Amino acid sequence: MLSRPNAFMIELSPNPRSTQVKRLGRWWRVSSPYQTTCASLSFMQLLERHPELITLGKNPGAQLPRPGVASSSGQKLNGPNPLLSTTEKLDSTHWDNDLYRAMNCHDPITSSGMHPLAFRHQIEGLWKGKYLYFDYNAYQHVVKGDVRSLYEGTYGQEMQEWRLEERVINVKIDKVGGDGPMLNAGFRLGLTAEDEEYEASLCVEERGWEPCTDESAPDRPGWTKEILISGTGLSAWGEVKIQGRVRAWDGLVTIHTDFGIPESTGKWLFRCYVTSGNKLVGRYRDTFTMENMRGELPIGSFRSRAVLTLFHYVLIGIDL
């Protein structure tokens, strides 16, 4: 939870997130959604109603590549439908995974967690949308503890498009999440062709993972399943390569984007949850700032099978 009186400092003590709720004649232990989820969606709704609040890049549809980053495809990004201006009819099935997470993901020590394939086929596909970017220099000030930039820094809006694919692997339990750095979504850095060839020559037990050919098959002892993500993207900053994974315990989606440039700002890490109504809500950060500096940029996504809306603004708070 957020500490007080400074709401932008992380509370590191292991406070339980669950509470007791009486429903249908009995008591249930449930966990409430993260506060940043509601804050992100509310902020996007505010900007749809008051677009004049956007202070950078007054023409959201203009292609304004970042210095040193340019798109070579010549593709033009088309704007998505507004996030909250249309009414979508949802039945109870849209809330099943939200309830599943609330009932089974109180803490990783005492809670069983979700099925590793609970979000299978819910992430793959074409996502189109827009995102808000905070002034990078101001963001760096916020990460270093100067929250004044949080209120006074400028931000703008750009378009973005993702094409994502899923694949399932069988993986040893101690290899879940990958063996690379967190800021690279668990994937190892600097792998050469020789490294990949050597790993491919290893037996399954030595490698610790294998492609899953039967997703309904029971796991053998010491093994489980994991969803990996790959794809490409396009934004006003250029074309991007995407790789990521879904955390089995609670469905946290981690996506690493790489614009393929040597500059430190060419790589970003997204961490978010799939919620009801095909929304992807969470936050992201650069991969240049040290991992122990916890300032991150919230992200909110809306998906209507092929529609995505991305945004971010600075908020220091609950750690995902």
Question: What confidence score (pLDDT) does residue 5 get?
Answer: 44
* C-alpha distances in Å from residue 153, one per residue of 8, 54, 287, 295: 16, 11, 21, 15
Domain ranges for the chain, please list them.
Answer: 54-302
Facing residues of 271 across strands?
254, 283
Q: Would you state the structure tokens that stand for residue 64, as one six-digit string? A: 């304004």
Q: What is the pLDDT of residue 263?
A: 63
Structure tokens at 16: 């339980």
CB 112 within 8 A of CB 100: no
Mean residue pLDDT of the chain comes to 75
pLDDT (tens digit per residue) in 213-251 = 999 999 999 999 999 999 998 887 788 999 999 998 899
pLDDT of residue 196: 81
Task: Reply yes or no on whether the pLDDT at 289 is more than 50.
Answer: yes
By the 10 Å C-beta count (0-12 exposed, 13-18 middle, 19+ buried), 172 is classed as middle
C-alpha 255/C-alpha 284 separation (Å) is 9
Task: Pick the more confident residue, 55 or 206.
Answer: 206
pTM of the predicted model, to two decimals? 0.80
- Give tens-digit pLDDT for 251-267: 999 999 998 877 667 88
Which residue's structure tokens are 């309904």? 216
Q: How confident is the model at residue 169 (pLDDT cuts 50, 70, 90)?
A: very high
Helix (H, G, I), strand (E, B) or coil at 211: strand
Nearest to 225 by CA among 281, 152, 190, 176: 176
Q: What is the pLDDT of residues 64-105, one digit of tens each?
A: 334 334 444 455 555 555 555 556 677 888 888 888 999 998
